[in-house]
Amino acid sequence: MTIAPHILAIDDSFTIREMVSQTLRDAGFEVTTANDGQDGVEAFAGGRYDAVITDINMPRMDGFGVIETIRSGQGSPARVPILVLTTESGPKLKDRARKAGATGWIVKPFDDEALVSVLNRVTGRG
Amino acid sequence: MSADNLKAMFFVECEELLESLGEGLQTMEDGEADSETLHAIFRAVHSIKGTAGAFGFDTLVTFTHHYETVLDLIRSDQLEADGDILRLLLRSSDILADLVELARSEDSGRPEAMDSVLESLIEISKHHGDDPGEDEAQSADVDLTFEPVAFSPLSLDDGPPAGALRYRIRFEPGTSFFRNGHDLGQILAELEKAGPVTVTADSATLPLLSDFDPGECHLAWDIEIETEATEAELLDAFMFLEEFCKVSELGPVAGGLPDLGGGLPDLDPLPEAAPAAELPAEPAAPEPEAPSPPRKTDPGRAAPEPAAAEPQKRADPAGATGGATPKQPMLRVDPERVDRLINTVGELIINQAVISQRIVEAGFDSNSDLMGDLDDFQHLAREIQEGVMAIRAQPVKPLFQRMQRIVRETVDALGKDVTLVTEGENTEVDKTLVERLADPLTHMIRNAVDHGIERREIRAQAGKPEKGTIRLAAAHRSGHVQIEISDDGAGVNRPRVFEKAVEKGLIPADAKLSDGEIDNLLFMPGFSTAAEVTNLSGRGVGMDVVKTAISALGGRVAISSMPGKGTTFTISMPLTLAVMDGMVVHICGETMVVPLASIVETIRPRPDDIKPIGRDGRLLFIRGTYVPIASLSRMLGLLRQGGDSDGGVFVLVRSESDDLVALAVDDISDQRQVVIKSLEGNYGAIPGISAATILGDGRVALIIDTEAILSQVRRAGAEAAQHKEMFHEQASALG
C-alpha cells in the first residue's frame, strides 16, 4: 500500500480551497488547506508535505512570502515543490515566481486534470 | 461536494468579498484608506476574478480584470484615486455586484451601465501604467497553462521504433534549480516514457569548494533521446523549465547510435563530477539514472516512505490548522434548527425558573449551597441563551452598505448631491430582521433623497450646503435596536400633506390635526406627496407599505420633522423575535406580561387623580396632563370572571406615535425575560394579546399587545368625539 502524497493548499478563497482539495482528494492525494499565507507557513512547519500549492494575493502573508519562508528553512522540506496558483500570467509572473523560488505555477482557472497531472509530476507519482 | 455546492459557496464568498470591497471603498471615500485598505480592495476584486474563471463566468472575469487593473494602478501609486476615479470605482463595485447577481441567477444579460464603466476602466489603464492590456495579450500569447500530454510509452525492448528521431537537449536550469524544488530524476523519468535516454552532466561551471553553495545548482546536462515524440512533447517533460532547454534534432535513428560531436560514449550516464556536486544537495538533488529501464519515481524524492514513518505528526497539522476550515459565514445551518434550539433553550430558561420557584417554596435558606448552585445554573442557562441568540445575530453593516449604493443610484438619477453617513454599523440584529429590513430601508432612503433633500439651488438659497446629508444610524436601546434615517432636507411640507390628504378623501377638510398627526398621514395607505411622480419613489409604494413591513417584524416606525431642517424616521425593532423583557402584572387573578420596552413608568395614583370622562372613560392626571386609562380587565373581557376591576396600579405605556396610555392592573410582581410563544400558531389570534409565555410555575401568561390596546383606546375616544371619527379610524388602523 502506498501512502498518498500530502499536499498543502493555501488560498484565501474558500471556493478555490474547496475546488483544489476536492479535485486532489478525488485523485488520491491527502490535502491540508490553509486560509492565508501565515496559516500556510504555520501548517507547513507543523507537518510533512510532498508539495505546496499557494495563491499569491492573500491577506497577512502573500504567496511570495510563503515561498520565501519555506525556502529559507533547513533541509529537505525547504526544497519541497511549490506551485503558485494565480490568475496572473505572462513572463513577468514566471520571472517573479522563479526568483521567489516557486517550482511552477498553475494559472486559474485551472483544469482539474491539469492540476492532478502537475501534482502527480511534482510529487513523483508519474 | 457537487459543482452546484461549489457554486453556491462561490456566491457566498462573493458576498463577503463585495462587502469588504464596499467597506474598503467607503474608507477611501472617507479619506482614511491606508495601503492595507488598498490591498484588501484589490484582493476582493482579484479573488472574485480568480474564482469566477473557474466557473466560466466570462463577463465577470473580463470586468474584474479591468477593474483590478485600475485598482492595481492605484495600489502601486501610479494613479491617484481622486473624486472621479473614486466615483468610477464605486460604480464599478455596483456593477460587479450586479454581475455576481446575474451570474447567480444564471442570467446572461449585462448590467445596463456596464459597457460605459468598462470603457472608462480600460481608458484609464491605457493612460496610466506601463502597458495596458499587457497582461491579456501575454496570457494569450504565452500559453502557461499546463496541458497534460498523453505520452504513449514505448516498449523499450523493441528498441526505438521506426521513424524515431534522435534529439539532443541541452538543459541548463540555473542555480535555483534545486532550491526551487525541481528534480532532475523526475524529469528524466518523464522523458524516458518517450524513449531511451542518455544523460551527461556538464560540471564545467562548478565552482571551487570554497565558493561552493550546496544549495545551488552549477550543473548542466546534455540529454539525448531517441523517440517518436515531437519536440513540444519532449519539452513537456521539463514542465516549468522549458526555457532552459535547447533542443536540437540530430536526425533519424539508424541502427547504432552515431558518435556525435561531443564524442559521448553511448551508455555512460553518469560522469564522475555529478555525484560530487549533488551530495550536499541531498534530497532535492537529481539522481540521474541509467537511460533504461525507465523508472517511474525517484525514491529519494517522492517521499512516501518518510511520510509513513511519521503518520502521527502528519495527521496533526491537518487537525491543528483546521483542515478545510471554512470562514465563519460558511457554517451554514438550516435556520429552522437554530430556531428549534432557541425554542429549547427558552424551555430551559422556563424550566430553570420553575425549579427556582419550587426550591424557594420548599423553604431553603437563601444562603444555602443549593441556592448558590441554582444561581450558577441560572447564570449558565442565561449564557447558553445569549450564545444561541448570537448565532442568529448579524451586524447591520452589509445592509447599510447596500444603502450606500441606493443613494448613489438615486442621486445619479435625480442630479442631486447627497452623502450617506452611517453610524453603528456593527450593531447586531437577528439575521431575519436584517434581511427583512432591506426593502423598507431602501424605500425610506430613496424617499429621503427624492423628497427629503432639496435640489442644489434651493439648498443654496436656503443657506444650506449644496450637498445634502442623510444619516443612517443603528444602536441598541434597552433591548431594542433603533435605526434612524434622517435627512437635512426641507422637512415635511405640512400644508401640502394636509391638502393632499383632503384631496384623497383621507381626512375631512375641516379636520384639526397637530403637526405630528399631519406627519403621520404619510403612513396612510395610498398616500403619495411627490409633486411630480419620479421614476424612483413614485412607484405606488408608499410609506404605509414600509410601516406594514416593519410592524410585521414587531417593530415600529415614527416620524419627526422640522420644517427647513429635515425629517427623521425612527425604526425601533426587537433584537430578536424569540424573547423579550416583560413586566409581570396581575389582572382579575390572571397573570399577564407587559412588554418592558413600551413601559414608561408604573404609578400608584391617589384616587382624586383619576377623572371620569364620558360614559365609562377615565383619565389619569399625571404631572399636569391627562392620560387615557385603559381598563384591561374590561377590554380583555376578564370582568365576568369576578374580582374587582382595576386595583390600584397603573402601568404607563408609550406607543410608537408617542401617545401615552395608562393600563389599569391590580398588581405588578416583577420584571423578567420571557420566551415568546406564538398564540396564532397554537390557538388563534386574540385582540389585545400579542403572544403568550410560560411562567416559572408552569402557568401560561398572556403578553399584552400595547399597540392594539392603544388603538382600541383611541377608537373609543374617536367614537366619543364624532367629528374626528374618520381620522382616528384610519390612524388606529395604522397602529
User: Would you say B600 and B660 are in contact if contact means Cβ atoms under 8 Å apart?
Assistant: yes
Cα-to-chain-centroid distance, residue A18: 14
Q: Are residues B652 and B700 in the same domain?
A: yes
Domain ends where: B356, B375, B394?
A: B394
How close is the nearest chain A Cα to the Cα of B246, in Å? Answer: 18
Q: What share of chain B is helix, strand, coil (3-state, %, to 5)?
A: 45, 20, 35
How close is the nearest chain A Cα to the Cα of B243, in Å? Answer: 11
pLDDT of residue B639: 67
pLDDT of residue B658: 66
Q: Are residues B216 and B339 in the same domain?
A: no
Q: Inform me whether the pLDDT recorded for A11 exceeds 50.
A: yes
Q: Are residues B473 and B368 in the same domain?
A: no
- Spatial distance between the Cα atoms of B544 and B542, rounded to a whole number of angstroms: 5
Nearest residue of A to residue B215, measured between CA atoms? A79
pLDDT of residue B730: 52
Q: Which residues of B touch A5 (CB under 8 A)?
A: 302-304, 307
CATH of A6-110, one of 3.30.300.30, 2.40.160.20, 3.40.50.300, 3.40.50.2300: 3.40.50.2300
Least confident of B143-147, B543-547, B676-680: B143-147
Total domain count, chain B: 5
| pLDDT per position as a tens digit, B106-144 | 877 777 778 888 888 888 888 775 544 444 433 333 344
**Contacts from B337-342 at CB under 8 Å and sequence distance 24+?**
B338/B388, B338/B391, B338/B392, B339/B578, B341/B388, B341/B391, B342/B388, B342/B389, B342/B392, B342/B576, B342/B578
The type of residue at A82 is I
Confidence of residue B471 (pLDDT cuts 50, 70, 90): very high
Nearest residue of A to residue B17, measured between CA atoms? A13
Q: How far is CA B524 from each of CA B541, B547, B656, B735, rounded to the nearest angstrom?
A: 11, 9, 15, 11
pLDDT of residue B135: 44
Query: Running DSSP on this structure, what letter comes out for residue B427?
Result: -
- Spatial distance between the Cα atoms of B138 and B143, rounded to a whole number of angstroms: 8
The three-class DSSP label of residue B484 is strand
* Range list of H helices, B362-455: 369-392, 397-414, 431-447
CATH number at residue B509: 3.30.565.10
Confidence of residue B162 (pLDDT cuts 50, 70, 90): low
Q: Inform me whether the pLDDT recorded for B473 exceeds 90.
A: yes
Q: Which residues of B touch A34 (CB under 8 A)?
A: 321
Q: Are residues B604 and B570 in the same domain?
A: no
To the nearest 10°, report the CA torsion of B438, B443, B446, B451.
-150
From the list B56, B142, B314, the residue facing A6 with the nearest CB is B314
Q: Inform me whether the pLDDT recorded for B655 exceeds 80.
A: no
pLDDT of residue B470: 93
pLDDT of residue B568: 93
State the residue for C-alpha cell 492565508.
A36
How close is the nearest chain A Cα to the Cα of B320, in Å? Answer: 8
| pLDDT per position as a tens digit, B220-244 | 888 888 888 777 778 777 878 877 8
| pLDDT per position as a tens digit, B481-537 | 889 999 998 888 888 888 888 888 788 888 888 888 888 888 877 676 544 444 444
pLDDT of residue B483: 92
B314: in domain: no
C-alpha cell of residue A15: 471556493
Nearest residue of A to residue B178, measured between CA atoms? A79
Q: Are residues B357 and B367 in the same domain?
A: yes
Q: Is any Cβ of chain A less than 8 angstroms from the Cβ of B306?
A: yes
To the nearest 10°, report the CA torsion of B20, B25, B26, B27.
90
Q: Are residues B464 and B506 in the same domain?
A: yes
Total count of residues recorded for chain B: 735
Full domain range(s) for residue B106: 3-141
Confidence of residue B316 (pLDDT cuts 50, 70, 90): very low
For B302-329, what is the mean pLDDT? 40
Percent of chain B surpassing pLDDT 70: 76
From the list A5, A103, A118, the residue facing B180 with the nearest CB is A103
From the list A39, A101, A121, the residue facing B239 with the nearest CB is A121
Q: Which residues of A touch B282 (CB under 8 A)?
A: 76
B307: in domain: no
For B542-566, what is the mean pLDDT? 81
Q: How far is CA B307 from each of CA B457, B561, B566, B630, B696, rounded to the nearest angstrom?
A: 76, 73, 71, 79, 60
B195: in domain: yes
Q: Which residues of A touch B12 (CB under 8 A)?
A: 14
Residue A110 vs residue B135, higher pLDDT:
A110
B662: in domain: yes
Residue B301 vs residue B162, higher pLDDT:
B162
For B201-213, what is the mean pLDDT? 77
B309: in domain: no
Q: Which residues of A touch B146 (CB under 8 A)?
A: 104, 106, 114, 117-118
Parallel/antiparallel/unpaired status of strands B197-202 and B245-252: unpaired
- Spatial distance between the Cα atoms of B478 and B164, rounded to a whole number of angstroms: 86
User: Would you say A52 and A8 are in contact if contact means Cβ atoms under 8 Å apart?
Assistant: yes
Parallel/antiparallel/unpaired status of strands B556-562 and B566-574: antiparallel
Q: Inform me whether the pLDDT recorded for A22 exceeds 80.
A: yes
| pLDDT per position as a tens digit, B608-648 | 888 887 766 788 888 888 888 888 888 887 765 544 455 67
Least confident of B288-302, B364-378, B561-575, B708-722: B288-302
For B48-74, what is the mean pLDDT? 85
Q: Inform me whether the pLDDT recorded for B65 exceeds 80.
A: yes
pLDDT of residue B307: 39
Query: Running DSSP on this structure, what letter comes out for residue B452?
Result: I
- Spatial distance between the Cα atoms of B478 and B495, rounded to a whole number of angstroms: 36
This model of the complex carries an ipTM of 0.80
Q: Are residues B179 and B279 in the same domain?
A: yes
Q: What share of chain A is helix, strand, coil (3-state, %, to 5)?
A: 45, 20, 35
Q: Which residues of B touch A12 (CB under 8 A)?
A: 43, 47
Mean confidence (pLDDT) of chain B: 74
- Spatial distance between the Cα atoms of A61 and A38, rounded to a whole number of angstroms: 5
Residue A87 CB: number of other CB atoms within 10 A?
25
Phi, psi of B216 (to 5 degrees): -95, 155
Q: Are residues B266 and B381 in the same domain?
A: no
| pLDDT per position as a tens digit, B662-709 | 888 888 888 777 777 777 666 777 788 888 887 777 788 898 888 778
B387: in domain: yes
